[in-house]
A and B are shown apart, each in its own frame.
Chain A
């Protein structure tokens, strides 16, 4: 089976490698499945109380390396370097996303506290909701 190891934080590398795999799968010669190993990193603990204490003791350097390689930041740099997007366009996207997140946060914080009885709703589909 064809296999590739790629930088999983590089959206372009992932897109291109996935494209090659899809092309092989769709080829008339029926080249079949491919295996992609996308190297990446979990940026925080698994759950609310996971303090990551099981990591190797000298993880600080490793963590700093990966945190400096945020996939969005890497993509932004390349888009600008290659003239695919202007800084102002990217900033417009940033503002739109920040505002969408803020709206969701406001909605949650302003919503009334749940009532206990609501625990019994939506077990089944409710017509007209």
Chain B
């Protein structure tokens, strides 16, 4: 099962289970359409009517404002952004309103809201390529999930829907497994069996995707797969990376990372966001402040260079980390 299908199943199951769960977004339920920009809600309009599956005009501020209002009045909306770059069209709703409502009401109002948004560079240019996880991670009041596998996508989305707080789910364009007219060049196929039964993946629990003794590599989304590729190459040289998928950035599972550092003593983060102020900076700072004694070498960030993403595929490939850059950083870390 692909990530797009796993997300679709999670949405359908939650909507069947709880009549207050609704979806709202641009072009999410157009017969003959794509099901959002990346096929996640494809075909759901055959089962759910427009009261449950709301198409909106092209206004991110409008759709997220409506979702916040719906959440305040008893529904559990899942809001769909076509590209995470468009979050900034709704910045007031997403930064000043949603994550502060519980706090500003003195804990009297809850906001069971889920926002889904695709991230990542996919040869669409600077305004359809960003990874804004750090913007949301920085804002108190949001929980934040970054699923990289179909199993996690289904389980984390279901957990998010059942959470009484605003939750962001960032999904990666090249990991969806979208097909047909929405097939992506350079996509990574991450099909895996996903159980039919009801399950959730708890927030704040990282997964070790590959054990290794030399460096603890924390990576998300596409960078997780490129780190695994680098680990495969480095194993031939006798270098063993331990690759950790945090699965959620808020809350963040420092316990698993520290356990891993107890074995390796070396920390590397790999992210697709630009380097300055990305989530990797936060992880390194936290480890350096609280757990410096676990480190036997300075920690390292591998990230996209601090520039917008170019439309040119050549320039995009240069800017975004690949397995070779990750492997080189690992060799350098072990050489010192």
Interface residues, chain A, with chain B CB atoms under 8 Å away: 49-51, 53-55, 113-120, 123
Q: Helix, strand, loop or mixed for chain B's interface?
A: loop
Whether B32 lies near A119 (C-beta < 8 A) is no
B307 at the interface (CB under 8 A from A): yes
On whether the beta carbons of B307 and A123 are closer than 8 Å, the reply is yes
Residues of chain B within 8 A (CB-CB) of A50 are: 181
A114 contacts B312, C-beta separation under 8 Å: yes
B186 to chain A, nearest CB (A): 15
User: Contact: A116 with B305, CB < 8 Å?
Assistant: no
* Assembled-state Cα–Cα distance A17/B32 (Å): 36
Min Cβ gap B295→A in Å is 30
> Known pairs A53-B181, A117-B318, A120-B305. 16 more at Cβ < 8 A?
A49-B181, A49-B182, A50-B181, A53-B32, A54-B27, A54-B30, A54-B33, A114-B310, A114-B312, A115-B315, A118-B315, A119-B307, A119-B309, A119-B312, A119-B318, A123-B306
Which residues in A have their C-beta under 8 angstroms from that of B181? 49-51, 53
The distance in angstroms between the C-alpha atoms of A55 and B33, with both chains bound, is: 9
CB of B273 within 8 A of chain A?
Answer: no
Looking at chain A's contact residues, the main secondary structure is loop
Could you mark each residue 299-312 of chain B with 1 if its beta carbon is under 8 Å from any beta carbon of chain A, else 0?
00000011111101
CB of A55 within 8 A of CB of B32, answer yes
Min distance, Cβ B328 to any Cβ of chain A, angstroms:
15
How many Å from the CB of A114 to the closest CB on chain B?
A: 5
> Does B307 contact A120, Cβ atoms closer than 8 Å?
yes
> Which chain B residue lies CB-closest to A48?
B124
A53 CA / B30 CA spacing, docked (Å): 10
Complex Cα–Cα for A50 and B181 (A): 8
B314:A114 contact, CB within 8 angstroms: yes
B316 at interface, CB cutoff 8 A: yes
- A114 near B306 with CB under 8 A, answer no
Report yes or no: B307 in contact with A115, Cβ–Cβ below 8 A.
no
Contacts of B100 in A (CB 8 A): none
A residues less than 8 Å from B33 (CB atoms)? 53-54
- Residues of A within 8 Å of B305, CB to CB, are 119-120
Interface residues on B, range: 20 to 34
User: Which B residues have a C-beta under 8 Å from some C-beta of A?
Assistant: 27, 30-33, 181-182, 305-310, 312, 314-319
A119 touches B319 (CB 8 A): yes
Residue of B nearest to A113 (CB): B314
Nearest chain B residue, comparing its CB with the CB of A119: B315
* B307 contact set on A, CB distance < 8 A: 119-120, 123
Known A-B contacts A53-B32, A54-B32; A123 and B308 likewise in contact (beta carbons under 8 Å): yes
Taking the closest CB of chain A, its distance from the CB of B196, in whole angstroms, is 30
CB-CB nearest in chain B for A45: B181
A-B contact pairs, 28 of them (CB 8 A): A49-B181, A49-B182, A50-B181, A53-B32, A53-B33, A53-B181, A54-B27, A54-B30, A54-B32, A113-B314, A114-B310, A114-B315, A115-B314, A115-B315, A116-B315, A116-B317, A117-B318, A118-B312, A118-B315, A119-B307, A119-B309, A119-B310, A119-B312, A119-B318, A120-B305, A120-B307, A120-B319, A123-B306
Give CA–CA (A50, B130) in the complex, Å.
Answer: 22
Residue of A nearest to B34 (CB): A54
A115 to B315, CA, bound (A): 7
Q: Which residues of A contact B318 (CB under 8 A)?
A: 116-117, 119
How far apart sit A7 and B27, CA to CA, in the bound complex (Å)? 27
Nearest first, the 4 A-B pairs at minimum CB distance are: A116-B318, A119-B315, A54-B33, A54-B32
